[in-house]
Structures are given as structure tokens and as C-alpha cells.
Amino acid sequence: MNKHIFALATLLIFLAGCSEKHGPQDLSKLPLDLEAGKVVAQNSCAICHGMDGKGVADNIPNLAAQIEAYLIKAVQSYDHGKRVDSSGNVMNVAEGLTHQQLRNAVGYYASLPPVAKAQSKVKVEYSYYERGKALSKPCAACHGKDGNTTVAGVPRLAGQHPQYIIKAAKSYHDGTRTMPSMHAKLDSLSAADMENIAIYFALNEPKSTSSKAVNSHEGTQFISSCVKCHGPSGSGDDLSVPNLAGQNVQYLNTVIKSYRDNVRDHKVMHQALSGLKDSEVNKIATYFATELPAQTSFAPPETINSLVQKCDLCHSAGNTNPDMLTPKLNGQNRAYLVNAMTTYRDGDRGNSAMHSISSAMLFDATIEGLAEYYSAQEAK
């Protein structure tokens, strides 16, 4: 036999073997025995998914009334190692089970009525700004209610780039910056909460803390290198570089010295500031403090209510089209939804280019908001 034909024949036999054992169509082609499925569910799945198809703990999805073909696809992707759980573990749902048993168990769950919700359709109003405002109450004593501080030595956060606020807050915890004692509170904030706070402060109008001093021009000769990164007059478009214009003068003085003296650990800033005398630092601080502050150029993420309309184009009733099997999200476990969206965003759950490139999903706060919304809806 011709070598190529032989190779092709071997490949075809191999593929046929695969689809016999593992192929995507095989499970759904098997006959369904609901009673037998109930027994398998009892023995192998209920400890986590319940007999009513409601996940018994956070992170475990509800399976009741889910699109059957989607569930089949999901167990097969675990079985083939294409999908791992949110901690990167391979799920062994199929271990020790025949295909027929697995098919029956999945069919059993899909046949159940949806998990009942105490309340009917809940309207979730998730506003980044309002959440941030509520969460920022403990910050107000020092940073001011709207982020315009009136306390000497405390930085203004109003109008600051949110990406910078988030990064700066982190650096008090990872030890890059010495943490002011009251910042211990920041430790208990989730990433999503911190984003909401940052968005709140960023969207507030920044106000000057010092009026133009007669001697402010004295700093001009030292700042030509600074404006490359911090923007002309100390306000720029690079969201990771803080705006300096109109910042609290005492704070600028302290902070410039702490980079210079390596108290605040930052290579770039240390290089930019080393060799400056205290008197020169004061001139630079005065210069930036008296410049008019500008609002950050950051645009807040799309609102949850507007996003949901787009998601529901595919998700509202689920989609049984075999080319794009789409699970129902209403009434799903909140923590599980957060995990699922996070893994799409971070590229750890393949098969969904749409979810991973969606810039709306870049924010933890957006993922939290969407999970809060969907978990509160009545399952259908």
C-alpha cells in the first residue's frame, strides 16, 4: 500500500476511535435514562452539585435547568483537559464513570427545574461611582470627602488617574512604600472595591490647594526632565504616572525627598531626583503645587446595566445552537460567575475570544457587578 494512503488510513482509524470514545458528539448521541442518571448523580456529583442541581458551596455552579448540550460540552472539555477549574486544577468529573453514566447524570441535571430564588427578578443598580463613594468614607478624614484633601502632607486623590491610585494603594501593602498606620484598612478591600474607590476619586473635580505663589517660577529650571513623564505643567495622559499639578505642597516636599533618599523605593524616581538639594526640592514642590490641576483623561468603564443588554443577546435564554452553545447565567452562583469571567479575561479558559478581548471585562469591579447582577436574577 502507498505509504501516504497507509498513513491517512491509520489517521482515519485513529480519529474514528477518538470520536467513538471522546468525540464531541458522542455523549449527546447516547440514549438518556433519567432514573439511572439520578443514581449516578447521587453517587458521584451530589456531594458538590446537590440533588437539586444547586451548587452546595461558593464556586460550584448550579447545573439545574442549564442547556443540556452546554453541560455535555463542559464535562467533555474537563475530561479532555481543555478546561481546568478556576484554581488551575484538572476536574475529574468523568473519572470511574462510563460515557453512558456521565451522559445520564448530565441529562438528569439539565432536566431539573431551575433553582428557586427567594425573591423574584431583582434589579441591581451597580454604579462604580456610588460604590466608590460609599467605600471611601473611611478615607475622608485625611483625603477629604471628594478626594480634595485639606490636611497638610496628605495627597489629593480627586482627579488623579485611577490606575495610579490603585497601583499606589498596592505599594503600601507589598512593602514598596511605608504604610501610614491608618492605611491598614486598605488591606481588607477587594480588588474590585479598590477600583470603585479609585474611579470615584478620579471622577471628582480636582481643586487647587495652593494659590499661585510669587516665587513659583523658581522651580521652572529644575522640571524640564519631569514633564517628559508627568506631562506639561504636571498633568499628563499616561495613566500610570501621577498628576502633580495642584498637589498638596507639604506632601510633594516629603515625597520627593523620600524618593531621593530611597525611603520610598522606586528606581526611576530615585534617579530622577537624586542630587537635588532640599532647597531645590522645595522650589519644585512649590512649582507643581501651584499649577492648575487637570482632570484625569480616564474614561470610566461601561455601566453594568448597559453591558447586560449586550450579554443577554446571547445569554438571556441560553443558546442551543451547536456552533455557539451558550449557558444561562440567571441565578447562577455569584462566586462561580466571578471565577468564570476572570478566567476568560486572563485567558485561562479558552474557547471564548469574545469574552477575553472584551475591554469591559478588564476591571474586577465590572466582573463583580455583572456577577452580582446575574446571580440575583431568577433562574429560568
From 71, 112, 199, 379, residue interacting with ligand HEC (rule: CB under 6 A)? 71
Contact between 219 and ligand HEC by CB under 6 A: the answer reads: no
Angle at 296 between CA 292 and CA 299, to 5 degrees: 155
Residue with cell 533618599: 261
Terminal-residue alpha carbon distance, the chain = 58
Going by C-alpha positions, the residue among 141, 267, 156, 259 that lies closest to residue 210 is 156
330/379 Cα distance (integer angstroms): 5
54/96 Cα distance (integer angstroms): 23
288/209 Cα distance (integer angstroms): 11
From 7, 47, 152, 184, residue interacting with ligand HEC (rule: CB under 6 A)? 47
> How many beta carbons lie within 10 A of that of residue 94, not counting itself?
19
Contact between 65 and ligand HEC by CB under 6 A: the answer reads: no
Q: Based on CB atoms, which residue is closest to ligand HEC, 10 or 43?
A: 43
From 32, 36, 124, 142, residue interacting with ligand HEC (rule: CB under 6 A)? 142
From 64, 110, 115, 139, residue interacting with ligand HEC (rule: CB under 6 A)? 139
Work out how close the CB of 183 gets to ligand HEC at its nearest, in angstroms, rounded to a whole number.
6
Contact between 51 and ligand HEC by CB under 6 A: the answer reads: no
Give the three cell numbers for residue 51.
Answer: 440533588
Contact between 76 and ligand HEC by CB under 6 A: the answer reads: no
From 177, 260, 283, 345, residue interacting with ligand HEC (rule: CB under 6 A)? 177
Contact between 235 and ligand HEC by CB under 6 A: the answer reads: no
Gyration radius (Cα) of the chain, Å: 28
Name, in order, each residue with C-beta under 8 angstroms of 10's C-beta and a sequence gap of 6 or more.
none
Contact between 230 and ligand HEC by CB under 6 A: the answer reads: yes
Contact between 203 and ligand HEC by CB under 6 A: the answer reads: no
Contact 208, 293 (CB under 8 A): yes
Q: Under rule CB under 6 A, which residues in 346-375 are in contact with ligand HEC?
A: 349, 351-352, 354-355, 358, 360, 370
Residue with cell 491509520: 10
Q: Under rule CB under 6 A, which residues in 3-42 are in contact with ligand HEC?
A: none
Contact between 112 and ligand HEC by CB under 6 A: the answer reads: no
Contact between 338 and ligand HEC by CB under 6 A: the answer reads: no
25/358 Cα distance (integer angstroms): 30
Contact between 93 and ligand HEC by CB under 6 A: the answer reads: yes
Task: Please tell me the count of residues contacting ligand HEC according to CB under 6 A.
Answer: 82
From 28, 315, 316, 378, residue interacting with ligand HEC (rule: CB under 6 A)? 315
